[in-house]
Chains A and B, each alone.
Chain A
């Protein structure tokens, strides 16, 4: 169900977090769904259990998962999360339009990604200092 790119330039736990978030946003995973155990998912993806455990812990902190001791990790898609799905779809439309415009300006894919990354990391820094 989840796909991980080991040489993707992004920590594997972050990739896994994004895929789980996306699955929740698209409705593939829904409120109350039980996630595979850490050991099971680690074996399935052939990654370290630490990768899966870190992704689960971080998602629990974000409120996407609930870790019930001895029972497992459950999806907690609150109504707020469902309206986020709508926000994400809107964002996808906006980004699609913007990327098309940037391509017309002659920017390459790698350059577009870089501009996005630079803007996001700048925003993160500004957010932290505020």
Chain B
């Protein structure tokens, strides 16, 4: 069974199309990064999965439960922990009160893990939520999510606004939680952290899927061929199988390749290249090419 499965999902807000026929699969027991530019439809998709928004069309299942069925949607919210952009915390409560309040909703609350995280995150139990820094709020939201031992965690830009130490803590926590059996699906703009911790990446642009791959496959297949010329040829000279894009800057041509590296190198030589280098490609370059 997959953790998340979405087919032809669409969401229209008046004149705006937020999600435009999205197909998406997230495997269980893996860490999946959900990438896209602002406004690409990530948060809308997540809210539809959690039953906070109704789709205009399309179908979806989370942990095997149909998102369109109200009863199943309750079950989804019981089994899935969500850490959203606004963190949705009650500002007038103290940290201890909010933990107690949240705990009361979940039968399988892990009090031991709660205590461990309070200590690790150095959360001030007597302070009101409204007086917490952004980083502290994020940590509190994470604690509330993690102590529930969810089957699936969905996080919407969890590291946004955190300092580098807090980001490292958070990623470690996610790595550990994932090893304990929780499936992780998180959106982020921090491509280098996604590249490190994720098994799979899903990239959307303008409400549609543009890349769904394991990072191992991205690493194994993507290469950049960089050729220097005394007079650079047109980009169209590199229109050939396996080429994702070609860019001329000055006397240099950069060709992003998923396959057929040798043929591209031959082509560059045949066009009179004075130097040809094949380089590894980071997720950042793949992302930029896919969303452009």
| A residues at B contact (CB < 8 Å) | 4, 6-13, 38-39, 42-43, 46-51, 108, 110-111, 114, 118
Contacts and interface: CB of A to CB of B under 8 A. Distances in A.
B192 interface: yes
B282 interface: yes
A6 B282 CA distance: 8
Given A43-B176, A48-B198, A7 B171 contact: no
A108 B226 CA distance: 13
Q: Which of A11, A50, A111 has the most CB of B within 10 A?
A: A50
If over half of B's interface residues share one DSSP class (helix, strand or loop), that class is named, otherwise mixed; here it is helix
Contact of A49 (B171, B179, B220): B179
B197 A9 contact: no
Interface residues of B, number: 33
Contacts, number: 75
A84 to B, nearest CB: 26
A43 B219 contact: no
Nearest to A109: B277
Nearest to A111: B277
B266 interface: no
Contacts of B279: 9, 110
Interface centre among A9, A111, A118 (most CB of B within 10 A): A9
A4 B281 CA distance: 16
A46 B199 contact: no
Interface string B191-204: 01001111100000
15 contacts: A4-B196, A6-B195, A6-B196, A6-B283, A7-B281, A7-B283, A8-B280, A9-B279, A10-B219, A46-B171, A46-B197, A48-B31, A48-B197, A108-B277, A111-B277
Given A7-B283, A43-B176, A48 B192 contact: no
Nearest to B32: A48
